[in-house]
Structure 1
Amino acid sequence: MKKRIRLIALDMDGTTFNSRKEITNRTRRTIAEAVERGIQVFPATGRPKSYLPQEIMSIPGVHYASTSNGASIIDMNKEEPLYEDLIPAERMPDIIRRIKDLPVIIELFYKGACYCDRSTLPVIEQILQERPSVQNGQAPEIYEDGIFDRLLQDPFPVEKVHLIFSDLKIRKEIMDFYQKENILDVTSAFAENLELTSKTATKSNALLRLAGILGISQEETMAIGDSFNDLDMLGAAGTSVAMGNAEPEIKETADLITKTNDEDGVAWAIEKYAF
């Protein structure tokens, strides 16, 4: 007997978006039909609020989102987040001191947007030239002077620290350090990146918290994803669906496997397992 699904969490990149960074008409129609059937559908993404795709958020009835890997839960009808789980201000100086002089792209997600210290522009340009595949097609970052100095002298909490590496040896060193320290959640969406959030800011916690807010049981939730930063969310959902293009480890842990993101895998999964 098919489970009743009342809440669906959708990863964005590599899942809802195809490889051309598009959300197809079929996927939009299926999400809209799910909403019409009374199912809450929400993006569960590593992106900040400013990068949420209007192709989905403009669908009537889709107004919740989990952003920055679960650091923020948003009701688009309200100014303030429903819930936040930020990297504490007191942790930020140590993080900045460790990474600010490395040859990495450093993106800081806070207040729903993505910020870069203007001093890092030469490094950003160099890495994008060396590894053009890491360009994500999202909205431009906000470049400001002195962000690092502010975080060192008068720190403030941050949703997520997103790092993109050209040198994968440096990436491994940073990943190993923070995994050993065990003070932050460390995950990754692709081979060249790392994503640092509060230890308890995860897509899984955001899924379960939003389900609780909406009065929906864990058994009535579904999650669809493709990457390592979806792994905990897939483990928490009542029904977990891995994309056909997902990493092998993701497929092994999921309850079900759908088609790839270039074959409308999200639409196919919702139609087959939620309707």
Structure 2
Amino acid sequence: MGAPRRKECPMVRLVFIDLDDTFVAPDKTIPRDNLRILDVSAERGVQFVPCTGRSLRGVPRELLAHPTVCHAVCGGGALVYDVRSGRVVREVSIDRPLVRALYADVRGQRVAFDLFTPEGVFASRENLPLYDLVEMTEATRRMVLSRRTFVDCGTEELIERVPSICRVNVLFADERGRRATRDAVAARPGLFGASSIPMNLEVTSAEATKGTALLWLCERLGVDVADTVAFGDSENDVSMLDVAGDAVAMENASPEVRAHARHVAPRCELAGVARYLEPLLA
């Protein structure tokens, strides 16, 4: 693939970046050149927007502290934060009856059912052993466990106790759990589900995706969507790639995700985001 052509994205004003396996390497570190491109972006007046399934607490400090990062899209698009104040500027919650019904459909499977709220990520301590059964890298497992608050009550009670639920992260230990979860989400038009790793499904309101968050933030900031670039690697990035001015999939993305991109950047561990943006920001 040749260098990106400026005429396809004449002005870059907002860069939306997925984190895991896009801006962040598989070992959960940020390649040095990706950190350097943040400095270049700040000099050019370009804002970076982390766009992730993580909670705000899970966004790397190097990003949150950088002057080019003013907003963060979290919970797969359900929450948009003003990073400077820490204030939620957009929240799209899932109706609690939908969460109850979804859990009723999957509770008999070997699944962990994590509840994302503006205050953090909560899970029943009863499900803690399941995290060792889910197929994921050890770096991902450590990150997942470190970002949850485990509560001494069952999942049904937890669903009622949290003030609002913006996203449900279902981690399944086997293929049967995957099929049951996907079927349960597909049966409810009010829900949207997409994966970021093979053994999870991130469930939000149908109105809360990375793509809807990108469009909302552009309108809020008065930025033409044509002046945006989005980078992603997973199914949960497709909605963002479909609406961005320039859609860039990582070389490590699946063929299905790459089919939604206009360009392909080098692998995440090779600082593909920086290597793609350098000619555009020169």
Q: What is the aligned partner in structure 2 of residue 234 from structure 1?
A: 241
Q: What is the aligned partner in structure 2 of residue 41 from structure 1?
A: 48
| Separation in 1, partners of 2:177, 2:246 | 36
Matches within 5 A, 1:190-269: 190-269=197-276
Q: What is the aligned partner in structure 2 of residue 162 from structure 1?
A: 169
Q: What is the aligned partner in structure 2 of residue 84 from structure 1?
A: 91
Q: What is the aligned partner in structure 1 of residue 12 from structure 2?
A: 5
Q: What is the aligned partner in structure 1 of residue 183 from structure 2?
A: 176
Secondary structure at 1:196 match in 2: strand
Q: Is the 8 A contact 2:105 2:180 kept in 1?
A: no
| Separation in 2, partners of 1:239, 1:206 | 16
Q: Deviations over 1:110-160 (max 9, x none)?
A: 1241111112123334x15xx352751423411112252435656743111
Count residues in correspondence. Answer: 272
Q: What is the RMSD computed on CA atoms of the aligned residues?
A: 1.9
2:277 is the counterpart of 1:273: no
Q: Is the 8 A contact 1:10 1:43 kept in 2?
A: yes
Q: 1:15 aligns with which of 13, 22, 37?
A: 22
Partner amino acid, structure 2, of 1:259: P
Partner amino acid, structure 1, of 2:152: D
| Separation in 1, partners of 2:258, 2:136 | 28
Flag the 1:249–1:273 CA change in 2: closer, same or farther, 3 A: farther
Secondary structure at 2:268 match in 1: coil
Structure 1 length-normalised TM:
0.92
Percentage identity across aligned positions?
Answer: 29
Secondary structure at 1:194 match in 2: strand
2:117 is the counterpart of 1:117: no
Q: What is the aligned partner in structure 2 of residue 145 from structure 1?
A: 152
Q: What is the aligned partner in structure 2 of residue 64 from structure 1?
A: 71
Q: What is the aligned partner in structure 2 of residue 74 from structure 1?
A: 81
Unaligned runs of 5+ in 2: 1-6
| Separation in 1, partners of 2:104, 2:187 | 18
Structure 2 length-normalised TM:
0.90
